[in-house]
């Protein structure tokens, strides 16, 4: 039994390591593109494809879609991320899972610091080929919404999976976390506030950071599926 459990742990760490490596590699390549004098052609094509031909101020879709996309985008905002993280950490503290709570705080807070530093490092301005459909004030690369949704939802999804016994439920919560991450990133493109390479870089950096934090938590046993009473 112990050997089987050790094998499963090794497998999850291996997968997380591969995701982290792929994320770092993807981010470096996208940073190289973002540092060029002009945006790559696919950046421009995708943003224009989301607006009516000849009318860059008019997004595709029915009139209500713009508001719905703004709502989805808010799932990656600093306010929502902070409130969600605080609620989860308080719950973990009340459940006597302090180490898991510290893991969540470290992953999310560290991701936010990393996102801010990366923005300053690249210093890429926001796209101006289409009007912005929501107010923005920070730098563009990487997308903070895309990165922080990846960090937050993947971290919480992996944590939730540790406390579930049903394999299907584990897959569901992780898949839901990934789906929310991609929806938030896509919403930033529809709103015209990021280049596609910004969003892809945010996903790469977010998944890489969340995976590295997961590996650290597993190796230090900060995250366990056992309840305090059964330890």
Residue 50 lies in a domain: no
Backbone angles phi, psi at 59, to 5 degrees: -75, 155
Q: What is the pLDDT of residue 3?
A: 44
Residue 60 lies in a domain: no
Structural domains in the chain (count):
1
pLDDT (tens, 9 = 90+) of the chain, 231 residues, equals: 444 444 445 577 888 899 999 999 999 999 999 988 888 999 999 999 999 988 989 999 999 999 999 999 999 999 999 999 999 999 999 999 888 899 999 999 999 999 999 999 999 999 999 999 999 989 999 999 999 999 999 999 998 888 888 889 999 999 999 999 999 999 999 999 999 999 999 999 999 999 999 999 888 876 655 544 444
Q: How many CB atoms lie within 10 A of CB 229?
A: 6
Q: What is the CB-side half-sphere exposure of residue 195 using CA atoms within 13 A?
A: 25
Query: Domain limits at 97?
Result: 9-34+68-224
Residue 94 lies in a domain: yes
Report pTM.
Answer: 0.87
Burial 17-43 (b: 16+ CB within 10 A, else e): eebbeebbebbeebbebbeeeebeeeb
Residue 186 lies in a domain: yes
Residue 130 lies in a domain: yes
Residue 56 lies in a domain: no
Residue 179 lies in a domain: yes
Residue 59 lies in a domain: no
Q: Are 214 and 159 in contact (CB under 8 A)?
A: no
Q: What angle do CA 75, 80, 83 make, to 5 degrees?
A: 145
């Amino acid at each position: 039994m112990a050997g089987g459990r050790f094998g499963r742990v090794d497998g999850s760490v291996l997968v997380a390591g591969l995701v982290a490596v792929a994320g770092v590699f993807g981010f470096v390549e996208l940073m190289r593109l973002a540092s060029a004098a002009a945006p790559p052609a696919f950046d421009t094509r995708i943003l224009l494809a989301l607006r009516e031909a000849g009318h860059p101020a008019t997004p595709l879709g029915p009139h209500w879609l713009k508001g719905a996309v703004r709502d989805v985008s808010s799932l990656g905002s600093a306010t929502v991320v902070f409130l969600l993280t605080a609620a989860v950490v308080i719950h973990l503290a009340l459940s006597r899972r302090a180490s898991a709570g510290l893991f969540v705080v470290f992953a999310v807070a560290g991701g936010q610091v990393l996102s801010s530093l990366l923005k300053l490092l690249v210093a890429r301005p926001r796209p101006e080929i289409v009007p912005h459909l929501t107010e923005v004030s920070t730098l563009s690369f990487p997308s903070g919404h895309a990165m922080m949704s990846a960090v937050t939802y993947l971290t919480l999804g992996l944590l939730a999976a540790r406390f579930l016994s049903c394999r299907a439920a584990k897959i569901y919560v992780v898949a839901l976390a990934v789906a929310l991450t991609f929806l938030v990133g896509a919403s930033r493109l529809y709103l015209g506030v990021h280049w596609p390479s910004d969003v892809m870089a945010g996903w790469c950096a977010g998944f890489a950071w969340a995976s590295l934090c997961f590996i650290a938590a597993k190796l230090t046993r900060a995250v366990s599926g056992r309840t305090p009473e059964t330890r």
